[in-house]
């Protein structure tokens, strides 16, 4: 990590038809860092990510990715960004390999390069034996892994992952953690959301705990545990006011 800021958000506010999803969120992420959003359902995690990925503008405030403004420089940002959305947006009419090939066209990747990359990516996510299988015949966990492969097709410098391991079995979850660590070692900057405390602790350099459209605190998992006592789950429960019975 060289301390260079890759993602920055200042005073982000987002209203959806009168619902305030983000109420003034500020964070910055440096090159090579893995930064995680933790927070209960509806906290605003996906909303913040959608703004960073140029899917929609904020109501007010600003955000930049790689020094470019998310409301002005969308195509330049998207070219250097990989996105694994929370919702499954795979093409159900196509096979596994074809999903990657079709997606590569959005980035104008030459066909031969795309074929080389897709073969390597399917190996990376352990789906090589499913290359010709149609998406509806994949398990939920396989679909998540295909979405991860798709997010990597343009060799992104910044990877945004919304609940990358939700629905994965323990083996696949650990395999994805290893893959994220490998990408980080290559210098990729990672922004992710998770509901798994173990994932936050193992994968994230820093976490932002969100609740009701605000960031309650941001720090390393270790510093949060030292400051509040207990494990990350108890810190999370304390700061979000949830109880284990919720
Ligand atoms: N398209 C939309 N239209 C209207 N309201 C929305 C829309 N998307 C999200 N919201 C609302 O914005 C708030 C934040 O939602 P968001 O999806 O950002 O939460 P989240 O932290 O990602 O939650 P989860 O853990 O369930 O994925 C919620 O109150 C949600 O109902
Ligand atoms: Mg979400």
Measure the CA–CA gap between 71 and 55, rounded to whole angstroms. Answer: 9
Residues with CB under 5 A from ligand 2 (ion): 45-46, 86
Q: Quick count: other Cβ atoms within 10 Å of Cβ 207?
A: 29
Nearest protein CA to atom 19 of ligand 1, as residue: 42
Calculate how far, in angstroms, residue 49's C-alpha sits from the geometric centre of ligand 2.
9
Per-residue pLDDT of the chain (246 residues; tens, 9 = 90+): 568 999 999 999 999 998 999 999 999 999 999 999 999 999 999 999 999 999 999 999 999 999 999 999 999 999 999 999 998 889 999 999 999 999 999 999 999 999 999 999 999 999 999 999 999 999 988 999 999 999 999 999 999 999 999 989 999 899 999 999 999 999 999 999 999 999 999 999 999 999 999 999 999 999 999 999 899 999 999 999 876 555
Domain boundaries, the chain: 1-80+157-240, 87-155
Q: Is 46 in the pocket of ligand 1 (CB under 6 A)?
A: yes
- Predicted TM-score of the model (pTM): 0.95
Superfamily of domain 1-80+157-240: P-loop containing nucleotide triphosphate hydrolases (3.40.50.300)
Q: What is the pLDDT of residue 29?
A: 98
Q: Is 44 in the pocket of ligand 1 (CB under 6 A)?
A: yes
């Amino acid at each position: 990590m060289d301390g260079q800021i890759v993602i920055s958000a200042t005073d982000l506010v987002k209203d959806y038809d009168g619902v305030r999803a983000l109420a003034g969120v500020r964070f910055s992420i440096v090159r090579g860092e893995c930064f995680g959003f933790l927070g209960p359902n509806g906290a605003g995690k996906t909303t913040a990510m959608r703004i960073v990925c140029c899917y929609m503008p904020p109501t007010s405030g600003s955000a930049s990715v790689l020094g470019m403004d998310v409301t002005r420089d969308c195509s330049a940002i998207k070219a250097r960004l990989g996105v694994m959305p929370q919702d499954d947006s795979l093409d159900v009419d196509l096979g596994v390999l074809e999903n990657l090939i079709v997606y590569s066209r959005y980035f104008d990747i030459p066909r031969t390069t795309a074929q080389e990359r897709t073969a390597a990516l399917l190996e990376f996510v352990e789906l090589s034996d499913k290359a010709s299988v149609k998406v509806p015949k994949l398990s939920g966990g396989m679909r998540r892994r295909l979405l991860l492969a798709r997010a990597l097709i343009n060799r992104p410098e910044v990877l945004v992952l919304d609940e990358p391991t939700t629905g994965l079995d323990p083996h696949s979850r650990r395999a994805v953690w290893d893959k994220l660590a490998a990408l980080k070692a290559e210098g990729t900057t990672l922004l992710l959301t998770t509901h798994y405390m173990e994932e936050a602790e193992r994968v994230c350099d820093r976490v932002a705990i969100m609740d009701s459209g605000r960031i309650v605190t941001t720090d390393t998992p270790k510093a949060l545990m030292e400051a509040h006592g207990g494990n990350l789950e108890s810190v999370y429960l304390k700061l979000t006011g949830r109880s284990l019975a919720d």
